[in-house]
Every structure is written in structure tokens, then in C-alpha cells.
Amino acid sequence: MNEKVPVKHVTITSEIQQYVVGSGLVQDDVLRWIVERTQELGRPAIQQIVPEEGALLTLLTGLTEARFAVEVGTFTGYSSLCIARGLAEGGTLLCCDNSEEWTRVAREAWRKAGVEDRITLELASATETIRALPREEHIDFSFIDADLRNHAEYFDELIVRTRRNGVIVIDNTLLRGRVAHRERDEDAEMVHAFNERLLGDDRIESVLLPFHDGVTVVRKVG
Ligand SMILES: C[S@@+](CC[C@H](N)C(=O)[O-])C[C@H]1O[C@@H](n2cnc3c(N)ncnc32)[C@H](O)[C@@H]1O
């Protein structure tokens, strides 16, 4: 008999979100300061990652014992600070962004947190910045969170420069659930195509976490 297996899942309500954030997430004064400064920007503030994603980034950076990390999309600095805090002793983070205005907040936050000596910010097109890196497997950890249309290109440029067992985290891979709709809009179609491509890539193993807006964690295996 073909019995249906019950699906065990939780729909994340704001109450559950509060519970997750409240259960052990450490958000210090500098991270809170970044959130407050970002809220003052109004509508662009929606671009900021959520606190639990920041905690995941610190955890994964630490797990990879990253000595060299790359961030694509820095904005006001929340994720960069989380990554910088996970770096191994002597490790450095290269931040890619093209907004001087938004990254001014990030620079101030790095100074307040005492991590400015671990971070280099390149204000330019992220593709150009990544392509300027040696085409050698020297990156331990990357986070992609910039303009969706270029995520596949950032991934392609980063994966060839990532060492074996290095990790790449990609944000917005569920696109507020639109990738799963029967009729996808253009952006959802593009993100879906990217997700499919990752599944067929034998250089990596990956998992798409149904977390915030969808977060894919990739490990380079070959
Ligand atoms: C979603 S926000 C990043 C949020 C950030 N990770 C955080 O923790 O708050 C995207 C950022 O990517 C930057 N960006 C967009 N297109 C870019 C490009 N082509 N090159 C470099 N930076 C870009 C924007 O200026 C913006 O700051």
C-alpha cells in the first residue's frame, strides 16, 4: 500500500522568529548599532540580513577555520562583521560593494568592533574585484548577497578560487518562496535555474536551507 508519509515542517510566524532570535543569539552593541543606523535609511534597510543568518555566518566561517574570506554585497556591514568575527587568528576578509554611502556605516561599525584591520573593502563592481584575485584555490569562505542577476557569475568566479572543503553561502535562493511557484516570474526563473545548476555541479555538495529568504550552503568537494 502506498501510504502518505506525514510532512513535518514549521511555517515561520513572527512569534517563531522571535523565539529563534531569543534562543541563544548573541547580538552585541555594535550589531544592534548597525541595525539602528540601517533602519534610519528607510526602504533600503530591507536588504539587511537577519540576526540568525549573521550567527550562521559566524559559525560557518569558524567551522572552515577561514584565513581568507570574501563577501559580495556588504551594505551597512552586518554580515561582514559576523564573518570577520568567525575568522581564524590572522585571517582577513575582502568586502566587495559599489556603494560608498552604505559602506560608510560598515566602516564605522568595523572600527567600533575593533575588526577594521582584518577587512579590506573594494568599492567597485564585484565581478571586477573577484576576477582580480589569483585564479588559484585560496578562498576558504565566501558569502554572496549582492545583485541577484549576477549571483551565478559571482559563484562561477568564486568556486574556481575556493579551496577543497571551502564553503560558499548564497543568499535569497528561495526569493520569498517565488522559486516554488508553478508560474515563476523572470527573477524567480533565474534563481530557480541557478539552484538547478548547483544540483548538477559535481565540484560541490550543497543544501538549500529554508531559512529567512533561502540560504544555500555549498561545500567544494573536488
Ligand atoms: C542585499 S545588500 C547586502 C546586505 C549585507 N550582506 C548585509 O549584511 O546587510 C546588497 C549590496 O550589494 C551591493 N551591490 C549591488 N550590486 C553590486 C555590484 N554589481 N557590485 C558590487 N556591489 C554591488 C549594493 O550596493 C548593496 O550594498
Per-position pLDDT tens, the chain of length 222 = 556 666 666 777 888 878 887 776 778 999 999 999 999 999 999 999 999 999 999 999 999 999 999 999 999 999 999 999 999 999 999 999 999 999 999 999 999 999 999 999 999 999 999 999 999 999 999 999 999 999 999 999 999 999 999 999 999 999 999 998 888 899 999 999 999 999 999 999 999 998 889 999 999 998
Count of domains for the chain: 1
Residue 137: per-residue pLDDT: 98
For residues 47, 13, 194, 63, the Cα torsion angle rounded to the nearest 10 degrees is 80
Domain residues for 99? 14-220
> Could you tell me if 216 and 206 are in contact, meaning their C-beta atoms sit under 8 angstroms apart?
yes
Query: Is 92 touching ligand 1 by the criterion CB < 6 Å?
Result: no
In a domain, 210, yes or no: yes
113/110 Cα distance (integer angstroms): 5
H helix and E strand count, the chain: 8, 7
Query: Is 53 touching ligand 1 by the criterion CB < 6 Å?
Result: no
Q: Whose CA is nearest to atom 7 of ligand 1?
A: 48
Residue 99: per-residue pLDDT: 98
What's the distance, Cα to Cα, between the start and end of the chain in Å? 41
CATH number, domain containing residue 62: 3.40.50.150
| Nearest in space to 104 (alpha carbons), one of 40, 55, 172, 50 | 40
Q: Whose CA is nearest to atom 8 of ligand 1?
A: 79
Sort residue 165 into left (φ over 0), alpha (ψ -120 to 50) or beta: left
In a domain, 1, yes or no: no
